[in-house]
Structures are given as C-alpha cells and as structure tokens.
C-alpha cells in the first residue's frame, strides 16, 4: 500500500510538472501572438492573429482548470474525511498545503478547531490530514537547575574601612548568597569618609 501511494505521488508530480510546462508554453504562445498583433499592420492579419490568440487563450484556460481540479482532487484524497479517519482533541494534524503541524482542540461537525502555532483556526475536515507519529516534532527535554540555599547567611554585611575595589567583590558575593537564601532585604553597613 505504501509503494502504491509512492507511485501515485510520483505520477501526480509528473502530471503536475507537465501541466506547468504546458501552461508555460501556452503563455509564451499568447505573448508571441500579442507581439505579432502589435507588429502587423493589415486588418486581415490582425484578425487572424486575434482568432489564434483566442484559441490559445481558451486552450490555456482549459489546462489551467485541469491543473486546479487535479490539485483539489489530490488534496481531497489526502484528507481525514476521504480516509474516513476519526479525530479527537489532542491529535496532531496538518492543514493540507502547509508544512506546520497543528493540534486538534475541538470537533464541530464537518469542521475542526485547531491550534496552529499561536493561532486557533477552524478548518474543514477535507483540508486536514493526520500527521504520522514519527513526523510530530518532539519537544526539547526541559532542564531544571536546582540551587541549594546557603545556610547561615547574615542579614547584613559590614564593609567599613574598605576601599571600593575591596568592597565590591564582597558585596556582590554577599548579595548573591542573600538572594539564594531568600532574603527580601539586606543591609550593607559602610562608613563615611573612610574611602567608600
């Protein structure tokens, strides 16, 4: 079944590529016909060129319609509704035509409310496909850092008689310990006129 699906996907891709090439050829023919009309002076030649342009335009629209119908059919065949799969809240789904994975929040008849990134979107069942387990992005493992509370940290530090260069490292270390100990406020006792 997997092999058949791969073959069908390759076939569809080749057909889509051929359709795009045909569209490109028709567009080029249409452009050359327009250029010809501009360059022709006689009314008869202009009329013939216009008829040719209309034929090519009609053919172009048929090919374009065929491409669109084939794409819509392919999308519908991949959908949850076509495969008769059942959804439940929490399932990982993809909105067909996008690369991101969404999460089912709520099923509302033939529509489903999904969380796609930061947005909540209501999408028809025909536009959803279930994401295989192996394609669901895994959350990065969380890292918890446990910091032990220091014991015996005083509620004040005295830096009298010290210069700024001596006091700053001591005060920084003390404030770090006091924060980890859970103090809301602490006191730094310093002197005036003694270099600080």
Kindly state the tokens that stand for 55. 């034929």
Please compute the mean of the pLDDT values over residues 171-182 and round it to a whole number.
Answer: 90
Please compute the mean of the pLDDT values over residues 153-177 and round it to a whole number.
Answer: 90
Torsion (CA) 2, 5, 7, 8 in degrees, nearest 10: 170
SS3 188: strand
Express each pLDDT in 78-133 by its tens digit.
Answer: 656 555 667 788 888 878 777 778 888 888 888 888 888 788 889 887 777 777 77
Please give the mean pLDDT across all residues of the chain: 79
Please compute the mean of the pLDDT values over residues 134-147 and round it to a whole number.
Answer: 67
Q: How confident is the model at residue 181 (pLDDT cuts 50, 70, 90)?
A: confident
Q: Which of 112, 188, 103, 128 is nearest to 154 (CA)?
A: 188
Q: Quick one: what percent of the chain has pLDDT higher than 70?
A: 81
Region for 182 from its dihedrals, namely left if φ exceeds 0, alpha if ψ lies in -120 to 50, beta otherwise: left
Which residues, at least 6 apart from 153, have a Cβ–Cβ distance to it below 8 Å?
Answer: 174, 177, 178, 181, 183
Q: What pTM did the predictor assign?
A: 0.37
Express each pLDDT in 10-58 by its tens digit.
Answer: 888 888 888 888 888 878 888 877 777 676 666 666 677 778 888 888 8
């Amino acid at each position: 079944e997997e092999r058949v699906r791969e073959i069908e996907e390759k076939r569809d891709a080749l057909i889509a590529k051929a359709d795009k090439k045909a569209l490109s050829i028709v567009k080029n023919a249409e452009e050359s016909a327009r250029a010809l009309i501009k360059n022709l002076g006689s009314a008869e030649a202009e009329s013939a060129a216009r008829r040719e342009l209309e034929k090519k335009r009609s053919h172009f629209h048929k090919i374009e319609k065929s491409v669109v119908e084939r794409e819509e059919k392919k999308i519908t065949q991949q959908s949850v509704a076509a495969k008769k799969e059942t959804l439940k809240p929490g399932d990982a789904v993809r909105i067909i035509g996008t690369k991101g994975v969404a999460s089912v929040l709520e099923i509302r008849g033939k529509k489903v409310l999904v969380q796609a990134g930061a947005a909540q979107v209501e999408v028809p069942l025909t536009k959803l496909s279930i994401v295989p387990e192996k394609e669901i992005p895994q959350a990065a493992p969380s890292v918890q850092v446990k910091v032990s509370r220091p014991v015996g940290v005083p509620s004040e530090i005295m830096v009298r008689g010290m210069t700024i260069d001596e006091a700053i490292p001591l005060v920084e270390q003390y404030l770090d310990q006091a924060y980890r100990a859970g103090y809301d406020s602490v006191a730094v006792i310093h002197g005036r006129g003694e270099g600080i």
